Amino acid sequence: MATTIVVTGRGGTGKSSFVALAGRHLDTPQLLIDADPDQSLAALLGADLTATDTKTISDVLYDIQAAAKKAPADLRTMPLAEKLKYLLHMNCLYESATFDMLVLGVKWTTGCYCHPNDILRAILPELAANYAITIIDSPAGLEHLNRRIVRKVDDIFAVMDPSAKSLRNVERIREISAQVGIDFQNLYLVANYRFSEEQTDSLANIPGTTYLGRMPHDPDVEAYDRAGQSLLELPADSVASAAVRDILSKAGYSVH
């Protein structure tokens, strides 16, 4: 059965690095969905979206709503649901040997996105069913859960820094999930390297959550990011990679 994981956290906590490294250790085939406006996941994975002419979903929605002249004539008369499904597969799905990826992108146009969102709610679960694991890189506000583009989640991993905002984000996850009816099994907490070992003790006592461990500082992660190298190519002794593997194992995932 396909598994859906959401990884959330404030900017700069290491959330996208956690997603990239989780993909290194989890089963394939994998679908990675970058729902963060920062759109940093592709770079961390060494995926050149420009070179492959891969568009974000927002780009495609903009093209459809603006009736872009470059769209083939037969697409202009196609019903919106079929058109979006076709373009999502043909233009938005980045494919590699180890993972496939969709980038939601930023909202380029004004107005109501209710109809496109409704279509995405139907398309994304259908697409995700073809993969063993779907991992969603989500901003701290969980906007896309709030819009119910994803309706069912197995586990949520909240990557935290030692700030009051990170703690409030954990509470917001529970509030949004209850308000919009998002089902999830577990809410896991992951401390980033800014936590001291002593500070992590407090994370074990937050109701409705399970603290799994800390991601230590790893100079290799910073070096690879600056060089534009994929985190999937980190050396075997990478401390960040080993920490993520241990965290996933504690959550009950089969890791390699």
- We report the CATH number of the domain holding residue 61 as 3.40.50.300
Residue 173 has pLDDT above 90, yes or no: no
Mean pLDDT of 200-211: 93
Number of domains in the chain: 1
Is residue 155, in this structure, part of any structural domain at all? Answer: yes
Is residue 255, in this structure, part of any structural domain at all? Answer: no
Range of the domain at 208: 3-250
Is residue 240, in this structure, part of any structural domain at all? Answer: yes
Is residue 95, in this structure, part of any structural domain at all? Answer: yes
Residue 104 has pLDDT above 60, yes or no: yes
What band does 195 get if pLDDT is binned at 50, 70 and 90? very high
- Predicted pLDDT of residue 112: 54
- Predicted pLDDT of residue 42: 95
Is residue 256, in this structure, part of any structural domain at all? Answer: no
What band does 197 get if pLDDT is binned at 50, 70 and 90? confident
CB 10, CB 161: distance < 8 Å: yes
This prediction has a pTM of 0.90
Residue 102 has pLDDT above 70, yes or no: yes
Is residue 54, in this structure, part of any structural domain at all? Answer: yes
- Predicted pLDDT of residue 185: 93
Q: What is the pLDDT of residues 23-76, one digit of tens each?
A: 999 999 999 999 887 889 999 999 999 999 999 888 887 777 765 455 555 566
Is residue 173, in this structure, part of any structural domain at all? Answer: yes
Is residue 37, in this structure, part of any structural domain at all? Answer: yes
- Predicted pLDDT of residue 114: 57
Q: Measured between alpha carbons, how far is residue 130 from residues 114, 122, 177, 190 in Å?
A: 26, 14, 25, 28
Q: What is the pLDDT of residues 206-231, one digit of tens each?
A: 999 999 999 999 999 999 999 999 99
